[in-house]
Amino acid sequence: METLRTQIDEIDKNLVELFEKRMELSLQIAAYKMRNNLPILNEKREAEVIEKNLSKLKNKDFEGEFIEFFKTIMHLSKQVQIRAFNEHGITIKGV
């Protein structure tokens, strides 16, 4: 059991680093969207991200959880972008 937990701890460490990188990139995307007057929500892009990454999933038994995982990540990315828009005094509609 301890060996398994150690492996999970290592994966969690990597997830934290990747999460931070993704959120930092989300802030850069928010800046681009603000400069170019683009909406935060891009449903087509979200569907593409899920489909592209789903094709990389080896164990299809986890497909439902995998989709939920990516939807959650994208939701958090949008939250970061909304916060950035709000900090610049830009009102968000229909996110």
Does 92 map to a domain?
no
Task: Provide the number of structural domains found in the chain.
Answer: 1
Range of the domain at 56: 2-87
Going by C-alpha positions, the residue among 89, 86, 82 that lies closest to residue 29 is 82
pLDDT of res. 84: 96
Q: Per-residue pLDDT for the chain (95 aa), expressed as one digit of tens each?
A: 999 999 999 999 999 999 999 999 999 999 999 999 999 999 999 999 999 999 999 999 999 999 999 999 999 999 999 999 999 998 876 56
DSSP symbol at 58: S
Does 93 map to a domain?
no
Type of residue numbered 77: S
pLDDT of res. 58: 98
Question: Cα–Cα–Cα angle for 47, 43, 55, nearest 5°?
Answer: 10
Distance, CA of 53 to CA of 56 (rounded, Å): 5
Q: Which residues contact 31 (CB under 8 A, 6 or more apart)?
A: 84
pLDDT of res. 6: 98
Does 30 map to a domain?
yes
Distance, CA of 79 to CA of 72 (rounded, Å): 11
Distance, CA of 5 to CA of 29 (rounded, Å): 35
CA–centroid distance for 9 within its chain:
21
Q: Indicate which CATH number applies to the domain containing 10.
A: 1.20.59.10
